[in-house]
């Protein structure tokens, strides 16, 4: 088809509809990108489908994890005009459609099916019994507990994010330096005894005692917000915010930093009580979301600007990253050695550990493997639930 022909017809409408389907599949798009895709389609034309797909992919895909979803959805969307019309009809609220009976990826399958609430069943005739509803919901939840965060559809991701906020993380506690009055304390509370004697005219009816406080370990959380960690970062932020707010009725001292191309202090956002407000505030603060990773430079900023306030010998450091660092390995090695000396334990939470046979061969991953006291896979709800036990084992050794 000639360039002039591509400027006419329903190609722009189809591109816009395809962009909406991509959004439903969890691909981040805005109006500017869809407009750019329309322009790219006009220049390339529709005579050669691979060229059109390559042009749209170059414009609409910015994350590696979205590439396979795009290609599968592109093939389904532009295979048959009737399929495109059905898909466009499914986007209307009143439209009815049939789910695509295929083995597609969850994100693509969701984009090709009518929207409905997760776990609900297709309306059935009145005489049809619905005794399978509870079993299906339990099955869905069980599957989501084992599903990789990176493979979830958009609606599944939102549901898992909500479920992650209910996962408990009982942090280990240690005896603090300060004491508090307690009848079972081992030390005599002289100040309290003098006050008691003043009130009773010099007679002590009992001896007040002091007992050392027991407090949860202070936390320093470092979260990688680079492109390869994009789908993990938001969900883990929601989990850590809800799980570390209080432990045993006591507030936890916690500091949160995000690192991509540079370090961002998210501690003010972490102090917000509502998790949704925290995520919104964090999104406003992070200006390098989805970019590269320079952990060494970020740790240098942490050491020079925040070390005195943050890192101490009692601090437990949780470093969430896949270790795909693009900075200088010598700098990363030096800064990780400093961080390890200044904290109680350094735990590396790595989603790539879900793969059997994984080895930290990348330079950043190798440095993290050398300096971390332990590493743990953290890619699904089940692994989040195991995190507390892993922390306890780490502190015992």
d(CA 263, CA 105): 34
Q: Quick one: 281 exposed, middle or buried, by C-beta within 10 A (0-12, 13-18, 19+)?
A: middle
Domain ranges of the chain: 10-89, 178-214, 217-396
d(CA 69, CA 79): 15
Task: Say yes or no to pLDDT of 121 above 50.
Answer: no
Task: Say yes or no to pLDDT of 91 above 70.
Answer: no
- List, as one string, the DSSP characters of 340-366: HHTSSEEEEE-GGGGSTT----SHHHH
Q: Mean pLDDT: which of 27-31, 95-99, 105-109, 368-372 is highest?
A: 368-372
Lowest mean pLDDT segment, chosen from 101-115, 132-146, 171-185: 101-115
Q: Could you tell me where the beta strands, DSSP code E, fall in the chain?
A: 173-181, 187-188, 209-216, 219-224, 246-247, 250-251, 254-259, 263-265, 316-320, 345-349, 374-376
- Residue 211: per-residue pLDDT: 83
Task: Say yes or no to pLDDT of 79 above 70.
Answer: yes
* pLDDT (average), residues 290-318: 87
Task: Say yes or no to pLDDT of 93 above 50.
Answer: no
Average pLDDT, the chain: 79
281: confidence class by pLDDT, cuts 50, 70, 90: very high
Please list, in sequence order, all residues whose beta carbon lies within 8 angstroms of the beta carbon of residue 292, skipping any fewer than 6 positions away. 226, 227, 260, 261, 326
131: confidence class by pLDDT, cuts 50, 70, 90: very low
Query: The sheet that has 374-376: what strands, in order across it?
Result: 263-265, 254-259, 219-224, 316-320, 345-349, 374-376
- Residue 332: per-residue pLDDT: 93
Pairing state between β 345-349 and 316-320: parallel
Please list, in sequence order, all residues whose beta carbon lies within 8 angstroms of the beta carbon of residue 128, skipping any fewer than 6 positions away. none
Lowest mean pLDDT segment, chosen from 82-91, 94-103, 182-191, 352-361: 94-103
- Residue 124: per-residue pLDDT: 46
pTM of the model: 0.63
238 or 309: which leads in pLDDT:
238
207 or 85: which leads in pLDDT:
207
* pLDDT (average), residues 112-139: 48
Task: Say yes or no to pLDDT of 61 above 80.
Answer: yes
Taking the CB of residue 238, how many other CB atoms lie within 10 A of it? 21
d(CA 6, CA 46): 7
The answer to whether the Cα torsion of 64, 68, 69, 70 is positive or negative is positive
* pLDDT (average), residues 325-353: 91
Q: Could you tell me where the beta strands, DSSP code E, fall in 268-321?
A: 316-320
For 166-210, write each residue's pLDDT tens digit: 888 887 777 777 787 887 878 888 888 888 888 888 777 778 888
For 25-42, write each residue's pLDDT tens digit: 777 777 778 888 888 888
Superfamily (CATH H level) for 217-396: von Willebrand factor, type A domain (3.40.50.410)
Please list, in sequence order, all residues whose beta carbon lies within 8 angstroms of the beta carbon of residue 375, skipping any fewer than 6 positions away. 347, 348, 349, 350, 353, 368, 369
Task: Say yes or no to pLDDT of 336 above 90.
Answer: yes
Distances (CA, A) of 121 to 4, 104, 114, 273: 47, 20, 12, 35
d(CA 371, CA 365): 10
- Residue 129: per-residue pLDDT: 43
- Residue 4: per-residue pLDDT: 38
Distances (CA, A) of 6 to 3, 26, 264: 5, 28, 46
99: confidence class by pLDDT, cuts 50, 70, 90: very low
Q: Mean pLDDT: which of 4-8, 48-52, 79-83, 168-172 is highest?
A: 48-52
């Amino acid at each position: 088809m000639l360039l002039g022909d591509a400027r006419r017809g329903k190609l722009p409408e189809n591109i816009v509809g395809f962009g909406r389907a991509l959004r439903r599949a969890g691909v981040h798009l805005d109006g500017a990108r869809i407009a750019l895709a329309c322009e790219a389609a006009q220049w390339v034309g529709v005579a050669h489908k691979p060229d059109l797909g390559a042009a749209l992919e170059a414009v609409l895909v910015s994350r590696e994890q979205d590439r396979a979803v795009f290609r599968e959805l592109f093939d389904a969307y532009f295979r048959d005009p009737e399929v495109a019309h059905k898909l466009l009809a499914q986007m209307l609220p009143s439209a009815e459609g049939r789910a695509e009976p295929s083995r597609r990826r969850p994100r693509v399958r969701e984009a090709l099916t009518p929207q409905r609430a997760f776990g609900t069943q297709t309306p059935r005739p009145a005489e049809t019994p619905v005794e399978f509803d509870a079993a299906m919901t339990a099955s869905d939840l069980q599957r989501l507990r084992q599903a990789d965060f990176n493979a979830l559809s958009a609606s599944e991701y939102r549901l898992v994010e909500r479920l992650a906020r209910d996962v408990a993380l009982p942090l280990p506690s240690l005896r603090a330096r300060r004491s508090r009055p307690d009848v079972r304390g081992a030390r005599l509370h002289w100040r309290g005894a003098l006050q008691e004697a003043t009130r009773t005219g010099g007679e002590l009816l009992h001896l007040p005692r002091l007992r050392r406080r027991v407090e949860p370990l202070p936390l320093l959380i470092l979260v990688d917000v680079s492109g390869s960690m994009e789908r993990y970062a938001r969900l883990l932020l929601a989990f850590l915010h809800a799980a570390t707010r209080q432990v045993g009725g006591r507030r936890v001292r916690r500091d949160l930093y995000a690192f991509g191309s540079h370090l961002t202090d998210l501690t003010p956002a972490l102090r917000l009580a509502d998790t949704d407000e925290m995520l919104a505030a964090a999104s406003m603060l992070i200006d390098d979301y989805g970019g590269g990773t320079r952990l060494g430079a970020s740790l240098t900023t942490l050491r020079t600007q925040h070390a005195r306030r943050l890192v101490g010998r009692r601090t437990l450091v949780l470093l969430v990253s896949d270790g795909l660092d693009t900075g200088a390995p010598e700098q990363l090695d030096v800064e990780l050695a400093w961080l390890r000396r200044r904290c109680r334990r350094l735990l590396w939470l790595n989603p790539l550990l879900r793969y059997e046979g994984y080895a930290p061969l990348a330079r950043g991953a190798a440095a993290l493997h050398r300096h971390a006291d332990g590493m743990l896979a953290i890619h699904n709800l089940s692994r989040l639930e195991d995190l507390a036990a892993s922390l306890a084992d780490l502190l015992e050794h």
